[in-house]
Amino acid sequence: SAVISQKPSRDICQRGTSLTIQCQVDSQVTMMFWYRQQPGQSLTLIATANQGSEATYESGFVIDKFPISRPNLTFSTLTVSNMSPEDSSIYLCSVERTRGPDTQYFGPGTRLTVL
Amino acid sequence: DAKTTQPPSMDCAEGRAANLPCNHSTISGNEYVYWYRQIHSQGPQYIIHGLKNNETNEMASLIITEDRKSSTLILPHATLRDTAVYYCIAPGGSARQLTFGSGTQLTVLP
């Protein structure tokens, strides 16, 4: 399995500000993903972070609100822009490994609270 | 993705086998079934996956019916640390995006 770390592990932010979340993997991976888990809810895929090209966003998520970078095969960032209390969630990154075509390994998550 | 249906919650006594069912009646022939779990406040953890045959690994066993319309995840000797939300997912042959439903909250009781 992959060792995945996320920074910060948690943060409390003010409305209107932005937060950048980092995801670091201990080995090169092809596919990296970003998910959101709102309080008491299941996970929702935000986007696929593509190395060397723009991220692919799911319906309901846009680049202006959630810009993503993927500068290399071990690192990605997700920015939550112009935050509102509705953005309070756990944000998780995941990577795909070769164990199976859709087997993903998840980071520990970043717990964001927006006041 | 094939739609999956799971009971919202289950209890299991510590040391006993936990059998978690999943219905995926619309699954297509080349779609795998994956199981993940999420222990409170942690990221989801991959458990096991299968296509047609039953599978077993160090964490669990996966029993898939012959018609592939349902499956059962078996934790042979549940411990308190197995208390978690268990997700059954059929993401599709070419899709890499995992769609997480509501899952089953398994509570292992002492």
Sorted by sequence, the CB contacts under 8 Å of residue B19 that are 6+ apart come out as B72, B73, B74
Residue B35 distance to chain A (closest CA, Å): 10
A residues 18-57 closer than 8 Å to B (CB): 31, 33, 42-45, 48
- CA-CA distance, B78 to B104, in Å (whole number)? 15
Residue A104 has pLDDT above 50, yes or no: yes
Task: Write out the H or E segment, with its range, that includes residue A70.
Answer: strand A68-72
- CA-CA distance, A41 to A106, in Å (whole number)? 17
| Phi, psi (rounded to 5 degrees) for B81 | -75, -10
| Phi, psi (rounded to 5 degrees) for B82 | -85, -5
Model confidence over A5-39: pLDDT tens digits?
Answer: 999 999 999 999 999 999 999 998 888 999 999 99
User: Do the chains contact at A102 and B103, CB–CB below 8 Å?
Assistant: no
Nearest residue of B to residue A5, measured between CA atoms: B43
- CA-CA distance, B40 to A78, in Å (whole number)? 23
Q: What is the pLDDT of residue B94?
A: 45
Nearest residue of A to residue B97, measured between CA atoms: A45
- Name the residue type at position A111: R
A102 confidence band (pLDDT: 50, 70, 90): low
Q: What is the pLDDT of residue A100?
A: 59
Chain mean pLDDT for chain A: 92
User: Do the chains contact at B96 and A101, CB–CB below 8 Å?
Assistant: yes
Among the partner-chain residues B41, B95, B103, the one whose CB lies closest to the CB of A42 is: B103
Q: Region A56-73: what's the mean pLDDT?
A: 95
User: Do the chains contact at B43 and A96, CB–CB below 8 Å?
Assistant: no
- CA-CA distance, B44 to B14, in Å (whole number)? 22
Sorted by sequence, the CB contacts under 8 Å of residue B75 that are 6+ apart come out as B12, B17, B18, B20, B59, B60, B82
Nearest residue of B to residue A93, measured between CA atoms: B43
Q: What is the pLDDT of residue B99?
A: 82
In contact, A47 and A57? CB cutoff 8 Å: yes
Among the partner-chain residues B32, B49, B101, the one whose CB lies closest to the CB of A42 is: B101
Which two three-digit tokens encode residue A100?
A: 């199976």
- CA-CA distance, B17 to B9, in Å (whole number)? 15
In contact, B47 and B35? CB cutoff 8 Å: yes
Among the partner-chain residues A94, A102, A105, the one whose CB lies closest to the CB of B32 is: A102
A44 chain-B contacts, CB cut-off 8 A: 100
Which two three-digit tokens encode residue B41?
A: 């406040």
Length of chain A: 115
pLDDT below 70 — which residues of chain B?
A: 1-2, 92-97
